[in-house]
Amino acid sequence: MQKQAAVIAFFFLLTTCLATNQRDASKPTYTIYQVGGDVKAPRPISTPIPAPPDSVDKGLKVHLSFIVMPDGSVSDIRLLKRSRPDFDDFAVSVVGKWKFEPATKAGRPVAVRLETDMNSHR
């Protein structure tokens, strides 16, 4: 019985490892460039900032970092300077919906990391 349990545990562990590696292998990797020199900045297509929920106080500010991907979408949003959790979550959600014409290097779309501030307003 113990041997059977050990075999089952081994196969479970093996399956989990293979599934994790398969997920990681299917994820495309990108070099993340810095804007400047031969890397042209992305152009905003849609970057609306709606009014925050009523629960958010006026005068709050966050500083965010994010990657504009080669397809113009936003990923890897990081809060560099936090505020209150409700406004932090709001800001991350808003930036995650932004769209850009991607940055380019030698005429080809590339990923770049940008930073921005967001203030609460009503």
Q: What is the mean pLDDT of the chain?
A: 83
Look up the pTM and report it: 0.74
pLDDT at 20 over 60: no
Domain extent, residue 39, equals 31-119
Distance CA 74, CA 102 (A): 10
pLDDT at 120 over 70: yes
**Residue 14 lies inside a defined structural domain of this protein:** no
**Residue 18 lies inside a defined structural domain of this protein:** no
pLDDT at 18 over 50: no
Distance CA 90, CA 21 (A): 33
What is the CATH number for 39? 3.30.2420.10
The confidence score (pLDDT) of residue 101 equals 98
Please count the structural domains in the chain: 1
**Residue 5 lies inside a defined structural domain of this protein:** no
The confidence score (pLDDT) of residue 13 equals 47
**Residue 44 lies inside a defined structural domain of this protein:** yes
pLDDT at 10 over 80: no
Continuous H helices in the chain:
2-26, 85-96
The confidence score (pLDDT) of residue 7 equals 40
**Residue 10 lies inside a defined structural domain of this protein:** no
| Tokens found for residue 75 | 């990923």
**Residue 12 lies inside a defined structural domain of this protein:** no
The confidence score (pLDDT) of residue 58 equals 82
By CB neighbour count within 10 A (0-12 exposed, 13-18 middle, 19+ buried), where does 56 fall?
buried
Mean pLDDT throughout 17-22? 47
pLDDT digits (tens, 9 = 90+) for 41-91: 999 999 998 888 888 888 899 999 999 999 999 999 999 999 999 999 999
Distance CA 35, CA 37 (A): 7
